[in-house]
Amino acid sequence: CRAAFSTMADAKEAPAEPASVATAASAATAAAAAAAAAAASPELAERRKLEDRFGRFHNYLRISLTERCNLRCTYCMPEEGVSLTPEERLLSAEEIQRVSSIFVRHGTTRIRLTGGEPLLRRDLPEIIESTSELRSQGLKEIAMTTNGITLGRKAKELARAGLDSVNVSLDTLDPLKFQLLTRRKGMEKVLEGVQTALDQGLKVKVNAVIIRGLNDDDVEGFASMAVDRPLEVRFIEYMPFDGNRWDRQKLVPYTELVDRIREKYPDFERKQKEDAPNAVSKLWHADGWEGRVGFISSMTDHFCATCNRVRVTADGNLKVCLFGNEEVSLRDAFRSGASDEEVMELVSGALSRKKPRHAGMFNIAAQTMRPMTTIGG
């Protein structure tokens, strides 16, 4: 669940009213052009069901497989834990497959499996294998976000099932601080999982949420991991969620992190040309490095304008924005007998109401939302 921080965005720019007027005008023009094109192409009309009124095409689906987690990270879950949804109200493997199939038929090319902790789900290999069958319909990547505690034991099986890449959440390289941050032991197991995933040929990213006064002195050590390993270390700005006691003073801006790394590696440079389309991470590295370092500046330099992702929670609710409170139950639609076409209309309707950007970190901190572990990464 911790890598959900990688999908946040913030509104720090122009006043909302003038920006919304300009955005609405451009959106209307784009919508008119798209409607004309769709009328001439039924296939394009189907793809447009994953497009919002601002022209953002959502080809990236994140599905939470469980609300359970074997860690209790301070920024993700209250110390006392959370009330979990009864098992019968969570999506079954068959319903997860149906969600994936509907989205892929309409243009989704990337699916990420999240949690909670997805490795706690016993049927995970079967879910990955069935999802992999959608490659013939256009699916290009199956990814997973994990805390890595049991990844070392399971990476080989998951790679064989069809997993392409894995994001591992690790916020410190100090065993004692790891226990403080996660309220559990196990840092060595996470590092073992990272290496095993690399050995299995999986693409690996290590996600670290940086909190001032707690783990900001680990930044240089994390960056060093990318010197001689073919992985990406990603630093994520601290964000507000229910129960995580977010404090603006604990936020370390990504520009400050860059300066710290440059003190150790003076030739550390921005590699903007290497950024992927719809990227949330700003990529940097130095010549000769095997890996890269990314900065996810959700709070200080947002990326809402290029958002291409939607979420389905473990209990089957569609969220078109991580920090939006509106949810649409696909589970209830499935169980009431809705057709795939009717479910897709629910998705399309939710996307048509997606806002150009979320409310900003201070407004987010003031509102009530689900705990992160019940939303999914």
Q: What is the pLDDT of residues 321-358, one digit of tens each?
A: 886 778 999 999 999 999 999 999 999 999 999 988 75
Please give the Cα distance from 236 to 222 (Å, whole number). 12
Residue in the block written with tokens 């090319």: 109
Please give the Cα distance from 371 to 364 (Å, whole number). 13
Asked whether the predicted pLDDT for residue 134 surpasses 70, the reply is yes
Please give the Cα distance from 26 to 19 (Å, whole number). 11
Residue in the block written with tokens 């709070």: 299
Provide CB contacts within 8 A for 210, sequence distance 6+.
Answer: 171, 216, 218, 219, 235, 236, 237, 238, 252, 257
Asked whether the predicted pLDDT for residue 121 surpasses 90, the reply is yes
- Predicted local distance difference test score (pLDDT) of residue 25: 43
The alpha-helical segments, DSSP class H, found in the chain are 16-39, 42-47, 93-105, 124-132, 151-161, 175-182, 187-199, 219-225, 254-264, 330-335, 340-352, 361-366, 372-375
Please give the Cα distance from 53 to 175 (Å, whole number). 47
- Predicted local distance difference test score (pLDDT) of residue 71: 87
Asked whether the predicted pLDDT for residue 201 surpasses 90, the reply is yes
Q: Model-level pTM? A: 0.84
Judge contact between 213 and 250, C-beta under 8 A. Answer: yes
Measured in degrees and rounded to the nearest 5, phi and psi for residue 244 equal -100, 5
Judge contact between 163 and 203, C-beta under 8 A. Answer: no
What's the mean pLDDT in 90-101?
Answer: 98
Please give the Cα distance from 244 to 9 (Å, whole number). 18
Tell me which DSSP letter residue 277 carries.
T
Asked whether the predicted pLDDT for residue 44 surpasses 60, the reply is yes
Both ends of the chain: CA-CA distance in Å? 4
- Predicted local distance difference test score (pLDDT) of residue 89: 97
Structure tokens at 357: 């950007």
pLDDT tens profile 220-233: 999 999 999 999 99
Asked whether the predicted pLDDT for residue 108 surpasses 50, the reply is yes
Please give the Cα distance from 125 to 93 (Å, whole number). 11
Identify the weakest region by mean pLDDT among 21-25, 59-63, 82-86, 273-277.
21-25
- Predicted local distance difference test score (pLDDT) of residue 15: 35
- Predicted local distance difference test score (pLDDT) of residue 42: 61
Q: Select from 193, 70, 82, 182 the least CA-distant residue to 120.
A: 70
User: What's the number of CA atoms in the CB half-sphere (13 Å) around residue 186?
Assistant: 19
Please give the Cα distance from 198 to 207 (Å, whole number). 15
- Predicted local distance difference test score (pLDDT) of residue 146: 97
User: What is the pLDDT confidence band of residue 45, given thresholds at 50, 70 and 90?
Assistant: confident
Structure tokens at 233: 């270390």
Structure tokens at 167: 């994001």
Please give the Cα distance from 5 to 80 (Å, whole number). 21
Asked whether the predicted pLDDT for residue 63 surpasses 70, the reply is yes
Helix, strand, coil tally for the chain in percent (to 5): 45, 15, 40
pLDDT tens profile 366-375: 556 655 566 6
User: What is the pLDDT confidence band of residue 77, given thresholds at 50, 70 and 90?
Assistant: confident
Higher pLDDT, 193 or 364: 193
Please give the Cα distance from 103 to 308 (Å, whole number). 13
Higher pLDDT, 183 or 318: 318
Residue in the block written with tokens 């670290």: 208
